[in-house]
Amino acid sequence: MNRLEQDRSTVTNWKWLREIVEEACQPIGPYWPMKTFAYYNPIRDLEHLPFARAIEEANQLLGAKGFLPVEEYRQFFYQGRITLPALERALGRVGPPLPSRATIRVGARTIHVQDVWRIHAAYGIEILPAVLLTWNLELEGLTTRFRSDLPEDSRSSIIDRTIRECEKCRHDPESAYLHNLWKSSLAACQLSDPVSGLPSFHAPDPSRSAHTSERKTAFVPVDLPIDRTLGDWLDSETGSVLVETINTHMIKWIGAFVDEGVAGWSMPSRNKGFYAAWKELAEGDLSGRFLGIPDLQQKFGELSEAPEEMLCKHLEDLKIPKERWQSYLSRHLAQLPGWAGFIRWRSDHTGYPAQQHYPIDPLQYLAVRLFYESGMVEGLCQREWDIEGTLPALLGYWNEQRQREQALSLPPYHVIDPNNHAVCHQAWRLFHLAQFLELTPIEVHDLSYSDMSTLLEWLDLFPQSAHGPVWLEAYEDIYREYLLRNISGHQGVAPVNHERPRAQGIFCIDARSESFRRHLEAQGSYETLGYAGFFGVPMSHMAFDSHDHLALCPILLTPNAEVTEVPRVGQNDRVEDYLSGTRWHQLSHHLFHDLKHNPFASCMLIDVLGMFFSVGLVGKTLFRGSFDAVKQWLHQWLGGTVATQIPVEASRGNEQGHARLETLALGFTLLEQVAFVEGGLRVIGLTKNFGRFVMICGHGSQSENNPYYAALDCGACGGSHGDPNARVFAAMANNPEVRKILSDRGLVIPEDTWFLPAKHNTTTDRVTMYDLVDVPATHIEDLAQLVRDLEQAGTHQALERCQRIPGAPTTVSPSDAFKHVKQRSMDWANSRPEWGLSGNAAFLIGRRALTKGLDLDGRVFLHSYDPTPDSDGSLLEKIMTAPLIVGELINLTYYFSSVDPWAYGGGSKVIHNMVAGVGVMLGSQSDLQKGLPLQSVNDGARHYHEPMRLLAIIEAPPDRIRSIIQKHALLQHVFHNQWMNLIAFDPGPKNFSRYLSDLTWEPVTMNI
């Protein structure tokens, strides 16, 4: 017996229903809480499909667009951002397959289907809506003037030829040509003039006319569309607002339940789970009485304790066919994809503290949502049609009504005139296509009906809905050619330095590090390398004086160990002062929070503390630098700072007495430390010629009043700062026991090489060093020089960034730019403290010599890799399966937030409101906004982030890359389904090849 056909009353195991819900969740991407903002592909569960197909499916379910509007791509074409050769190449690569008949002969010319498709993509040869026919022909006179987008060369060519062939047309060749062309188009299509009613040059085909006149509209039974719920179907048919009402109530309940300390009064009974808490409280919710649900109190009394049983009951009450349950539930989830995505994430992360205490999952959410839908549908159907609120009852009623209407319908004058219909679909398109093909009226007039039909069929084979993939490919092609040409032309330009560098800097692969590395290398004998910002050490980290356990690694990984930041030895008095100040701060914070939410105390709070907060308001608005200095002084006076360290050695106990996650080991064993250091150094190719300093430089950001602060931090560290990972890696690499084992394995690190942890603040361009008390006295002078050079690099980096940031000064000195970015980080009214990773476009895996000194505009992720010692591809495999995928996730977050900022993105910051401490809504109530805000990707109407798929460039033999792809289904999905583009730079012959979805390579040729 099929599990879906089991009687509900006999079911005791709901595993089958949970599986249906789990499958229904797949198109809805999970959403991380904002404080740990994670980059991700919002339709990641569709990566098994080709890119364009996945976008189409997501559009059907979510109503979200996966490409820029065609009009925007055409503007890029008119502006020269997309060239004609790029468009032609894109048509050949991703355009429709060639039809069996790909050419026709017109006069002395041969027209190819690609010519028609190119014109259709660039200019749009669309069907004219019938209601606009008279307007366009009589009032607008569009058959007497060229289209405004007709290229000037075509205009000149047509006019010159018209004058040569018709002396009488000299006074107005444009009007004469178009008048005759319109008549010829009607004739070729065997149609009458829709204005005058006069027949065309050829008499219409009798059989064609008879067929049209005899055509009758067949009765098509009504059925529930596959992408609709009963609620939104009724909304579209009747103008009701069932879905909006359901969404309003669901947002209210979810927002209260998932609150993480923002609300002054927490929702009762949350520890019982979402469904149980709602069941307990909903009966007392007076607003439910206005929903139009019949016998509401009785329905509340009939609620089961099991959400599974109630979900099943509601679906059966609506009589939804069981084979459609999965798609039906997917549509329900898609009606609030942000909240549904967050609930899915919560249910997938059972270790998340809030989920441990207050469990919620998609099944509970759906059980509550379907309760409202079944009741409201029942009420609407009873009020409007006096029928049951079930799918069969609605289908029966509407089919009966439509059959009755069809039987009573009056004849033909209710139907669009067949001739006018054909004019809009055929003659209008032929008329416009002929202008771009520069056909003469005689050539169009002499077209056979078969050739005319072929031209129009070619247009039909390439509808506007299929233009997006072609335009995207052309858009990407221009940048790809530009970048590869620059890299190819740069080979041999950067000098090869075999001397010992002053220092090496290992930076995150983050695209913002690219320009900083370039400016640091310009300061002297520095060598820089790129490595994922968690430095290969997945770990949970608990900062000093914090109870948060942060997973500092990519979202693809799970930490197996935890480290805890602790005070250094000998600071008992300072620690006591610090903790005392912290306790006073927490007391004042909680007291203020409680008073602010108290209905009586809040009235007096403004009078008592109004002046105090006014000082702060004026200070951080008008005197940001001074105000920040005062805050820092107060912080030092109240408690000061405590020098800390992060012990990395494995420990069975918990000597510091801190709470820790019991499932994780505390620290790392010696062999684990060796593995992390050796793996990291070998994968980036740093195995010899070490400097006296090897700086391990993580990164983070600094901003005020910015809910998206985590989106500016390190994506490889799960949306957190990367300095703890840098400190841990450096501590491991400085361990003498680790170095001894590494030496035995052939990786010799000189005794005078010191690994120095640091962090690059990407908003202020300052670099902070850590654990400086451990630096040997012999390195103090070198350290001072490094600090000076880092500051100089920061000033030049700040000036470069000022050229890109709207409103920033562009004609100032590097030192003034350095001051500006610092001030900008403290501006609480600034919606764009920095661009973050906006603009990212490529991911380069290879040696620094490929790009050293080359300005990549801060758009390229740089991961160091030396292909020479990696003959088996094991090191490259690690990079391709982890950091490269992280880069893809970052890129797709920006891509989708750019192409549809209101569906995939976060909308505008102007109307954002924080909710529950987990995300933002638009206005007072909306879906949870999932992606990046408009201000993170756009400068006004201009796309600062050009939405393109990531271009991966790998310095390695193509066969090595292909063999790695064949071993991993994840890489096959990404590359074979065109979610990312791949270029190989073969270090032997030094040429580029493009990877194709059929596992072959295509040589890339460029004009240097």
Which residues are annotated as part of the binding site? Answer: 508, 510, 699, 714
Say which DSSP state 417 is in. P
Closest CA to 710 of 33, 40, 21, 5: 33
Residue whose entry in the numeric block shows the structure tokens 């991966």: 952
- Positions at the binding site for Zn(2+): 508, 510, 699, 714
What is the CA angle 490-495-496, rounded to 5? 115
Task: Classify residue 759 as exposed, middle or buried by CB count within 10 Å of its CB (0-12, 13-18, 19+).
Answer: buried
- Per-residue DSSP letters for 385-411? HS--SSHHHHHHHHHHHHHHHHHH---
DSSP-derived 3-state class of residue 920: strand
| Alpha carbon distance 233, 246 (integer Å) | 14
Q: Is the Cβ–Cβ distance between 828 and 834 less than 8 Å?
A: no
| Alpha carbon distance 821, 763 (integer Å) | 7
- Per-residue DSSP letters for 683-732? HTT--SS--SEEEEEEEE---SS-TTGGGGSBGGGTSB-SHHHHHHHHHH
End-to-end CA distance of the chain: give it in Å, rounded.
68
Phi, psi angle pair for 853, to nearest 5°: 85, -5
Task: Classify residue 836 as exposed, middle or buried by CB count within 10 Å of its CB (0-12, 13-18, 19+).
Answer: buried
Max CA-CA distance within the chain?
104
Closest CA to 372 of 412, 337, 335, 423: 335
| Alpha carbon distance 687, 380 (integer Å) | 73
Please count the other Cβ atoms lying within 10 Å of the Cβ belonging to residue 595.
16
DSSP-derived 3-state class of residue 422: helix
| Alpha carbon distance 270, 455 (integer Å) | 65
| Alpha carbon distance 828, 473 (integer Å) | 39
| Alpha carbon distance 539, 722 (integer Å) | 11
Q: Is the Cβ–Cβ distance between 715 and 890 less than 8 Å?
A: yes
Q: Is the Cβ–Cβ distance between 584 and 637 less than 8 Å?
A: no
What is the CA angle 987-993-997, rounded to 5? 135
Question: Which tokens is 814 given?
Answer: 């590097």
Instruction: State how far the alpha carbon of 155 is from the alpha carbons of 158, 159, 184, 240, 645, in Å.
Output: 5, 6, 19, 51, 74
